[in-house]
């Protein structure tokens, strides 16, 4: 009898469950968030809650390509665009669109100061700067620093879309940032330009198309350019005028450099 009880005790020990501390359980109920985005609506987030899973998430494959660096989608350098300060291609191109500079870099009367026809503020310099400056030269210096940072944002957006920006496309983005920062940086100039590059459009056509549609309010889908008339025709006319002025500055710069 003692032998039989010893055998039964051994069987009981072998069949007993393991201690809870020896079992790794996962109670992770974190949900997956899917983000949807359209050009006319706010970004919306819809939570999707899945069942419990004891399967570990796979690690990224080493061979997966990482996002292309910004320098891989740009055909020209920032140094070339901003070299020379008030005599830079950026100052001449935007100034040409603003009416403060001639296409070949000359200075108009508006460069030395004029009243903004929209908000009636005093403008100075190539970029019609109105945020406080003692001279046109100081106004140019301040706005060049601001535009330099803004073009970095444009380039990052282009990198994310994996598109290449031509010289004209980028300078028009810079000019749009000078005219209406929201339209250029937050309202979708690069988004619209990405779509335009997929269509059978010429370069001037896609620039004007993207510049114009950047004034669509993504929240309401309506035009948001009261200073430009808030109609498709009036906004497009203004953007086509500015695109042509920017292109004239590009052509004049190329001519001055020679073959």
Per-residue pLDDT tens digits for 54-113? 333 333 333 333 333 333 344 589 999 999 999 999 999 999 999 999 999 999 999 999
Taking the CA atoms of 246, 133, 182 and 227 in sequence, report the sign of the dihedral they define.
negative
Does the pTM exceed 0.85? no
The Cα 209–Cα 27 span in angstroms is 51
| 122 bridge partner residues | 115
The Cα 213–Cα 165 span in angstroms is 18
The Cα 168–Cα 254 span in angstroms is 12
Q: Could you report the per-residue pLDDT of 107-145, keeping only the tens digit for each?
A: 999 999 999 887 889 999 999 999 999 999 999 999 999
Q: How far apart are the first and last CA of the chain?
A: 111
The Cα 8–Cα 17 span in angstroms is 16
pLDDT beyond 50 at 225: yes
Please give the helix or strand (H or E) that residue 211 lies within, else none: helix 203-213
Q: Could you report the per-residue pLDDT of 148-165, keeping only the tens digit for each?
A: 999 999 999 999 999 999
The four Cα atoms 26, 31, 32, 35 give a dihedral, to 10 degrees, of -160
The Cα 43–Cα 226 span in angstroms is 25
């Amino acid at each position: 009898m003692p032998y039989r009880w010893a055998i039964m005790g051994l069987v009981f020990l072998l069949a007993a469950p393991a201690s809870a501390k020896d079992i790794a359980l996962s109670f992770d109920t974190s949900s997956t968030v899917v983000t949807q985005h359209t050009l006319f609506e706010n970004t919306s987030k819809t939570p999707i809650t899945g069942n419990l899973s004891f399967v570990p998430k796979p690690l990224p494959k080493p061979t997966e390509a990482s996002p292309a660096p910004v320098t891989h989608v740009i055909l020209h350098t920032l140094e070339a665009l901003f070299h020379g300060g008030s005599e830079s291609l950026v100052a001449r191109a935007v100034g040409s669109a603003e009416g403060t500079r001639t296409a070949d870099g000359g200075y108009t009367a508006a460069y030395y100061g004029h009243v903004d026809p929209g908000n009636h503020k005093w403008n100075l310099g190539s970029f019609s700067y109105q945020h406080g400056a003692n001279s046109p030269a100081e106004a140019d210096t301040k706005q060049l620093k601001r535009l330099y940072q803004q073009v970095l944002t444009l380039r990052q957006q282009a990198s994310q879309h994996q598109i290449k920006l031509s010289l004209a496309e980028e300078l028009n983005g810079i000019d749009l940032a000078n005219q209406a920062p929201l339209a250029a940086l937050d309202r979708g100039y690069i988004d619209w330009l990405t779509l335009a590059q997929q269509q059978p459009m010429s370069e001037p056509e896609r620039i004007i198309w993207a510049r114009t549609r950047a004034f669509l309010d993504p929240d309401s889908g309506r035009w948001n350019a009261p200073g430009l008339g808030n109609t498709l025709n009036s906004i497009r006319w203004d953007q086509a005028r500015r695109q042509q002025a920017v292109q004239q500055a590009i052509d004049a710069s190329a001519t001055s450099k020679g073959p």
